Structure 1
Amino acid sequence: MTNAGTLHRIPTRPWRWVPWLVLSQLAVILVWVLAGWHWGLALMVASHALFMVPVFLPNSRFYAPVLSRLPEAGNSVWLTIDDGPSEQTPAVLDLLDRHQAKATFFLVGERVLAHPALVEEILRRGHDLGNHSHSHPQARFWRLGPGTMAAEIEGCQQALQAVSGRRVRWYRSVVGMTNPFVAPVLRKLGLVRVGWSARGYDGVGCTPDGVLARLLPDLRPGAIVLLHEGAAHGHNLAIIEQVLQVLDERGLKAGLPCSNSASPRDHV
């Protein structure tokens, strides 16, 4: 699969958005004074939207670089499975073995500490790990301040390191949301933010057929496929199995980015 050295997009300028914020607000003041409050207020609302909307766009590069597709992937896709480890993890691993597929499990730190044996089993079967926050605060992740955001990402990283003994390189934001305080932590820890190009919304209430209908058009070479385990709806295993069957039918291989190269920083 694609060499991991070409995939590393660790933030090198995590505060690059600050000058744009300053300039936008200076423009608001200038317009307010010269053209009146009606125009000034409209520009202020627009400028705030400019900085808020990217928080909720999973593949936006506004606040941090993101890997959303695999370059030069051949016939490969990258399966990523969020929210574990869970009681479904052993069954997920069995499905992957049956289809000779590999995946990266983006794990939650608290769950890692609660189920260290499952983490060890993921690694024993040849899969990879990623950082998916320490407590998965999905309702408020978008608005976490710098201290709490750092605690979420660093806490998960410490849990993964303690249990696996390995340096984890990949990170995925909770629900894909990335505010201004994510990039500085990624730079400090040397983490690469991973988005996706194929998503079926299987982490919320859904049916397998509905998920597959949303996923199928995007299951092609180079796709980063977002899947989940342990969701309350109980359909994750059926969905994962159907995705693996489709990959087999299309001659696509679920593999991992190679890990035998250096990790250069991407100046973005």
Structure 2
Amino acid sequence: MCLAFERLRLPLLALAAVCALLPAQAAKPLACAKPLYLTLDTGHMGVAPLVADVLKRQQVRATFFLASEPTQDGGSSLDEHWAAWWRARAAEGHDFGSHTWHHDAWQADLPDGSFRLRRAAGQQTPQTVTLSAQAYCEALRAPAKRFEQMTGRPMAPIFRAPAGRTSPALLAAAQACGFKHVGWSDAGFLGDELPTARASNAQLLQRSLKRIRSGDILMAHLGIWSRQPAWAPEVLEPLIVGLKAQGFCFAPLREHPDYAAWMQQPLRTATTVSKE
């Protein structure tokens, strides 16, 4: 660009002044016309360090949904072993929401206003539990309280119901205590939960590159026990690179038009939370 100005025979001092401004102008980020919103739910955490490396290398800000899930090292995704990992992600500018403490997936609304849920994470034996609306609210708040203990930062007032299963009554109970639900787009289901025999990593990558459209919310996990070879990072980085080549960019949910205003509100965590 400076050569172009030189061809106009600008005076030397004027040319120097114009060129001196160019780095600052080039550093100003351009608005993205094709945003995507990558979200990652907790899992066995075995691929979490590799996922973090990919996000940092590709300069992608994502949104994580946290539950206390069993990990490959015999602990929990929210135990002290992982506290430093979550602090680092918070410092990098990602967003964070609740995924319930025990990974409780809705099954039915009950006549007394409570909910029947399937409690299972990873290789745990599933249990059927019943929670009142208040108890479900506490199950949403528990990851938020733990996240703030680990990072010193508040969690955003958003949640993802395990398996994406909700009802109008469940959504109303969650919103009454400050949480708005975040699902995912049809094309945003990245397939890491599918059996490998049904869909290879190469097939999942090609399907996502063909189907994903601007504005989609994408969903994957920090490790699925049954998936071999693991989806991340084998698919994650090629997917990000391929989508960027198509003109897409990545943003955290705080920049999504459906969530931006909601996420500016502070999360209410005054109620005592039970982890039982």
Calculate the aligned-residue CA RMSD, in Å: 3.0
State the distance in 2 between where 1:261 and 1:255 align: 11
Amino acid paired to 2:244 = D
Amino acid paired to 1:240 = L
* Matched-pair contact (CA < 8 Å) for 2:32–2:249: no
State the distance in 1 between where 2:162 and 2:244 align: 29
Gaps spanning 5+ residues in structure 2: where? 1-30, 69-75, 106-116, 121-127, 266-276
Amino acid paired to 1:218 = R
Judged with a 3 Å threshold, the aligned counterparts in structure 2 of structure 1 residues 75 and 117 are, in CA distance, closer, same or farther, namely same
Judged with a 3 Å threshold, the aligned counterparts in structure 2 of structure 1 residues 161 and 104 are, in CA distance, closer, same or farther, namely same
State the distance in 1 between where 2:57 and 2:222 align: 17
State the distance in 1 between where 2:193 and 2:181 align: 19
Alignment of 1:131 onto 2:98: yes
- Normalised by the length of structure 1, the TM-score is 0.63
State the distance in 2 between where 1:185 and 1:238 align: 38
State the distance in 2 between where 1:223 and 1:261 align: 15
1:74 match: 33
Amino acid paired to 1:162 = Q
State the distance in 1 between where 2:173 and 2:150 align: 21
Identity of aligned residues (%): 23
1:161 to 148, 165, 174: 148
State the distance in 2 between where 1:80 and 1:154 align: 19
Gaps spanning 5+ residues in structure 1: where? 1-71
Alignment of 1:237 onto 2:204: no
* Matched-pair contact (CA < 8 Å) for 1:107–1:130: yes
Alignment of 1:111 onto 2:89: no
State the distance in 1 between where 2:45 and 2:182 align: 21
* Matched-pair contact (CA < 8 Å) for 2:32–2:248: no
**Higher normalized contact order (CA 8 Å, seq sep 6+, divided by chain length):** 1
* Matched-pair contact (CA < 8 Å) for 1:85–1:119: no
* Matched-pair contact (CA < 8 Å) for 2:193–2:224: yes
Q: Which has the higher helix share?
A: 1
State the distance in 2 between where 1:130 and 1:237 align: 22
State the distance in 1 between where 2:145 and 2:204 align: 33
Aligned to 1:152, the other structure's residue is in SS state helix
Amino acid paired to 2:85 = L
Shift of 1:141: 5.2
Judged with a 3 Å threshold, the aligned counterparts in structure 2 of structure 1 residues 73 and 225 are, in CA distance, closer, same or farther, namely farther
What does the per-residue CA deviation read over 1:88-135, in whole Å, with 9 as the maximum and x for residues that have no partner? 222111101211211001111452234211110111122111111112
Which deviates more, 134-143 or 182-191? 134-143
1:225 match: 218
Judged with a 3 Å threshold, the aligned counterparts in structure 2 of structure 1 residues 102 and 185 are, in CA distance, closer, same or farther, namely same
The structure with more radius of gyration? 2
1:200 match: 190
Amino acid paired to 1:146 = L
State the distance in 2 between where 1:74 and 1:85 align: 35
Which deviates more, 81-90 or 216-225? 81-90
* Matched-pair contact (CA < 8 Å) for 1:108–1:135: yes
What does the per-residue CA deviation read over 1:43-86, in whole Å, with 9 as the maximum and x for residues that have no partner? xxxxxxxxxxxxxxxxxxxxxxxxxxxxx972110000112582
2:178 match: 190
2:272 match: none
Shift of 1:173: 0.7
